[in-house]
Every structure is written in structure tokens, then in C-alpha cells.
Structure 1
């Protein structure tokens, strides 16, 4: 085995060792921040995909707070398998209500570990923060874990295409239906009906835009991110890509937008 395959195998070995080692201060912070209400436990029988697994009692669990970008999930599934297959886990979250597919969403801790599985995957660069965690402390901890991998260019961050350029709408359109991170400068902010558009290009029917519903504008204003304040700012947007003329990401939570620089 040589080349990328060998490097990936070595990365899995090192990461697994780190995961099972005594927790660092950062790991302890993750535990404190993401140890939400406990909603069950069990032993992992099988990994379903890059962010889902099945317990021996038949329950299917989805890892809350993260996403796997793009269509290549093989590496993500292997990374998750290395951590949890055959292990006892505890499930934490805001509630244990299953989704429409019968899957329980949870922050997951392997027995004996001081940090959630999500943080370990993020630190390896095997996942992206999805911003679907309402608890601010936990969301911040997951974002910090992602930042570790991004700064070190680990996993998916080793690829130059990990973050899409807002000025290349064709590249973004290729990811329709998938979770992506896009960076660019907001050229204009326009409102049409109940929707506010953050436009990253001058051709509104072709270029990339992020959309924000009027009903959640107050949340952005409370966070100091009123849409008009984002004009001419360099920002990072994350979410599922759709197409309505040009590529779009619907912003449903404040955490999907990160301001990267000044005007």
C-alpha cells in the first residue's frame, strides 16, 4: 500500500490512538460543553454511513452537529467505524425524538472517552460542523474542533476544493443536494418578498447567493449579523446546495454564517 491510501491508513491509526488516550484539556472542554441530557446507551452493531450507525437493539443513530461533504463517504465511514464499531456508547442531546426515518439524532460518547465522537471526526478532518446544534457552548466546541483540522489541513481540508469559491458558481452547482462550505465577499444584499438574498455576484440568476427568511432575521440582528451589515464583507456560508437559477444555500441558523474579515 502506497501513496494516499497509506497516508490515510496511518492517519486513522494515529487518530484512533489519540482518541483512546487520556483526554487533553481541549477534550475535557468538549465533554463539559457537549454533555447534554442523556438519552440512552447501547453497543454499536454496525456503521451505516459516514455519520450514522445501528445499535444492537436495532436503533439507528445519527451523529448530530456534523455533516460529511460531497458524495465520497467511504473515508468518512471508515473513520467512524474505527472509532465506534463494537463499542458501548452513550447518547446525549436536547431530546430523543426520532426523525421521519426513525433515526435518533445525538451527541455520542464512546464509553471511557472524555470527548464526543463528533469532535474526534472534526479534528481528523473527516466531517464539517453542520450548525444544527442549538446549545451554543456545544456548537462552539464543535466549531473549534473543526478549526484544528482546517488549520492543520487534515483530512478533507488537505484538498484545495474543501471550501468552494463563491465566484465559481459552476463548482458549487456540481454539489447540488450536498452539504458544502462556500467562501466569498457579499456584493449586495437585496430583499424580495419574505426572502433576503446575500448576493456574491452581479448576475442574480446565475451567481451564488445565500438566502435568509424574514422570520429568522431577528436572530441574526441579535447576534450582530444583520443582513445589511454583511454587505461587502468576506464570509463563510455552510449548508445544503440547491439550484434556483444559480446555486443557493438556505440559511436557517445564525451558525451557518461566519464573518472572516472586515470591509
Structure 2
């Protein structure tokens, strides 16, 4: 039953994405190798020994030897789907920003040959609902395509989107958001007030800023917004979806480090 389910998801992922020519092309191409191990749903090991963290996505996590670390729901399924797609297959890599992380892993997009052309592994995993979009200020290429794939998977209730663990949280329920402190979450709501103070921009989603949910944009991120031609203060009144790590500082909040963490769903 599990094998047939993974095969169905793999087929669905392949059908849901375009060949690379229509996908993520604005990258520095680099040789890859044969995938000899899939660590989890967003990390693979090549025959050269290179560990590749599939940038732009976050799949459900496995403990991987970390004591006390829980297995996230759907983590095993995500790993099996990626294995079905890339294990023992030649892949090529594409870099769109910072190329190596502090663990000496390559931060790359992964491409594998498919029956109807090359498959972009990140997009396929997101399209099957087995990963979320997860970006960094120094690695922001091809996010539009990944967001589109994620939106389709979420609306269809595929993969992780069928599990309450990954539900999009409501900004007007700050208690629910606070319960997820220390977790990467998607939070959706209308910005009640956008305000600048002490070199930061605060997007307040409630009247009581010490209790309600807030998105905080620090000065380096404000510069990235400006470079993108965006003013976060114009988000006042907008319906948005914010993604990032929840912390508890004067109520639940997410620090926004780059514009792509905020999806504008409606301006008013």
C-alpha cells in the first residue's frame, strides 16, 4: 500500500511540473553526479561524497541521530518519494545564491532526467505536497515557480497539506501561533497596522502588540524590500501570508529577512 502510494505521488509530481526549460533556469549550472543516498526529503548525497541540501524547500524532518528530535508527520513518505525520483540517478546541479552552508553542504537546485524531459526535483517535491517553500535572503531564485506549485498542492490537500501539523495558522488566533514557537510556520491574516520604529518595520495583526501576532522586518531586510521596489509600509490593510520561524517576544512573531517571506493575497 505504501509503495503504491509513493508511486502515485511520484507520477503526480512528474505530471505537475514542466521540463526545466520552463522552470528554474536562472542559475549557475554545475556538474552533479549519481545520487547514492537520500538522507531525507530535501537532502541527497552524490557519489563524489558531496551532500546537497535542496535549497528553496523544507521537507518534513527526520531525527537523523538527534536525540529527542521528533519525526515530523509525513517525513518517511517524503524521503521515499525523493528516493523514487533521484536515487541511483544522475543529476545536475544549479546554484542561485550562497553555494555552501556552515555544514559544508552544497546549496543547490537538483535536476534529474525524466521520461518527458528533465525534472526539477524541488518543484516536484513541492508539487506533490511533500515539501514547503523555504527561502533565505542569500538564496532567492525561482521562488515564484515553487510558490505556484505549493499553492496547487495545498488547495488539493496533497501530502503534508492533509495533515493538521502543517496547517496555515490564523494571525487573529495568536494563542495558536504561540503554541508553535520554535517551529517554521505559515501564518495568514490582515495587517492591522504597518509601522516603522527604531530602524524596523512592524506589521501588526492585532491591537495589542504585546499579545498579538507581529511580523518584524529588520533593517537589512528593509533594504532588500527597497531593492525589489517594495515598501512594506504599504502592506497596511493587506491580507498576507507570512512564513518563517515563530518566536515569542512580546507575543508570537516571525522575523522577516527577505521580501519573499510575505505573500500578498489581497491588497484591501
- After TM superposition, the score normalised by the length of structure 1 is 0.84
Q: Could you tell me which residue of structure 2 aligns to residue 39 of structure 1?
A: 30
Q: Could you tell me which residue of structure 2 aligns to residue 248 of structure 1?
A: 253
- Picking from 174, 193, 196, the partner of 1:191 is 196
Structure (1 or 2) with the greater helix fraction: 1
Q: Could you tell me which residue of structure 1 aligns to residue 118 of structure 2?
A: 114
**Matches of 1:69 and 1:174, distance apart in 2:** 19
Is contact 2:235–2:267 with CA below 8 Å preserved after alignment?
Answer: no
After superposition, the Cα gap between the structure-2 partners of 1:95 and 1:233, relative to the gap in structure 1 and judged at 3 Å, is: closer
Is contact 2:135–2:261 with CA below 8 Å preserved after alignment?
Answer: yes
RMSD: 2.5
Structure 2, unpaired ranges of 5+: 62-71
**Matches of 2:236 and 2:60, distance apart in 1:** 27
Q: Could you tell me which residue of structure 2 aligns to residue 80 of structure 1?
A: 82
Is contact 1:186–1:235 with CA below 8 Å preserved after alignment?
Answer: yes
**Matches of 2:210 and 2:98, distance apart in 1:** 41
Q: Could you tell me which residue of structure 1 aligns to residue 144 of structure 2?
A: 140
Deviation at 1:188, TM superposition (A): 1.2
Deviation per residue, 1:88-135 (Å, 9 max, x gap): 211111367321101001110113442210111111111111233433
**Matches of 1:243 and 1:149, distance apart in 2:** 30
**1:101 corresponds to 2:92:** no
- After TM superposition, the score normalised by the length of structure 2 is 0.83
1:1-263 correspondence to structure 2 within 5 Å: 6=1, 9-18=3-12, 26-28=17-19, 30-35=20-25, 36-68=27-59, 71-72=72-73, 73-94=75-96, 97-112=99-114, 113-132=117-136, 133-135=139-141, 138-159=142-163, 162-221=167-226, 223=228, 225-263=230-268
